[in-house]
Amino acid sequence: MTVSQGDETSPPTRAVRPGEREPSASDAPATASGRRLRWWRELLYMAAFYLVYSWIRNQFGSAGNDAAGVAFAHARDVIGLQDAVGLWFEPELQRWYLDLPGMGAIRAWNIYYGTAHFLVTAGALIWLYRRQPDRYSVWRTTLAAMTAVALVGFASYSLMPPRLLDDTSKFGACYQRGEDCNGYDVVDTLEVHGGWLSFQDEEVAEVSNQYAAMPSMHTGWSTWSAFVMWGLVRRRWARSLVVLYPLATVFGILITGNHYWLDAVGGWAAFAVGFGAARVVTMWNEGRFARREPSPAST
């Protein structure tokens, strides 16, 4: 039996209950329990959540007495742990990559770092809403729960990223001490080679938490996007791209000097916790909605 292109990504249809009319094309998408989703309400939810996330994220880390000192001490702890297991390789990886012809098109990676995690995540969420609304609730809640877990990490463990280890700005470990004072030799590629907005830009630096590195939400959101899109595509080449996306993201955050590999592990841990919490919340919420529906005998 030949399956058409449209059939490959169509969600399974829910059986129509006794007394319930057939859904029409104009109906809002529905969850597995039949609860209708409203695009404007979902948009308000996500916009409000992101604004709250951004505000809370930027309250910690960069401000306060000796914020840079605390973040640098945490960075040395992370480096020490990675070195203890023989995997403190970020400076060597970046030097190798920048020595490639054309510096490995590092500017493109800078733009990728600054844009992809927003655009792909938003695109995957909208695609899921339109094509597989029965999966939407659990994955939307996973995204929210994972991001909330990340806020706990940002608030409790400010971490200086590799790009600031020898930086002389007021957020860097070498502020008022001289360039390359610690000898880590990690380049802030966004500042040196350009791309998207630089964290060193005064306007950006003042409103952004420079030390929100653990866990890496670039890693968490890209992994979330891969799980969402895996269920939306069927062709092998498309699924290969889906798998490569979070791997490319981890590679990108390392060569641009924005994260340690342990930050990526933290991002995966936040994703796992968020998914577990979302399963519980979604099952409870869908069950509550189902119990409120009239039984077939009463229709």
Please check whether residue 18 lies inside any domain of the structure.
no
Amino acid letter at 247? L
Residue 253 in this model has a pLDDT that exceeds 80: yes
On whether the CB atoms of residues 193 and 184 are closer than 8 A, the answer is no
- Of the two residues 259 and 299, the one the predictor is more confident about is 259
- Of the two residues 137 and 47, the one the predictor is more confident about is 137
Residue 201 vs residues 24, 54, 214: alpha-carbon distances, Å: 51, 18, 22
What number of other Cβ atoms are within 10 A of residue 235's Cβ? Answer: 11
Please check whether residue 218 lies inside any domain of the structure.
yes
Please check whether residue 290 lies inside any domain of the structure.
yes
Mean pLDDT score across all residues of the chain: 82
Residue 159 in this model has a pLDDT that exceeds 50: yes
Residue 16 in this model has a pLDDT that exceeds 70: no
Amino acid letter at 139? W
Please check whether residue 4 lies inside any domain of the structure.
no
* pTM as predicted: 0.80
Please check whether residue 10 lies inside any domain of the structure.
no
Residue 286: which domain range? 55-294
Residue 28 in this model has a pLDDT that exceeds 70: no
Task: Identify the bridge partners of residue 30 per DSSP, sorted by sequence position.
Answer: 36
Please check whether residue 16 lies inside any domain of the structure.
no
Per-residue model confidence (pLDDT) at position 23: 44
Please check whether residue 40 lies inside any domain of the structure.
no
What number of other Cβ atoms are within 10 A of residue 182's Cβ? Answer: 16
Residue 216 in this model has a pLDDT that exceeds 90: yes
Residue 12 in this model has a pLDDT that exceeds 50: no
- Tokens encoding 143: 């995204």
In whole angstroms, what is the distance from residue 111 CA to residue 130 CA? Answer: 28
Residue 220 vs residues 96, 123, 192, 214, 228: alpha-carbon distances, Å: 26, 16, 27, 11, 12
**Count of domains for the chain:** 1
Please check whether residue 47 lies inside any domain of the structure.
no
| Rg for the chain, CA atoms, rounded | 22
Residue 62 in this model has a pLDDT that exceeds 70: no
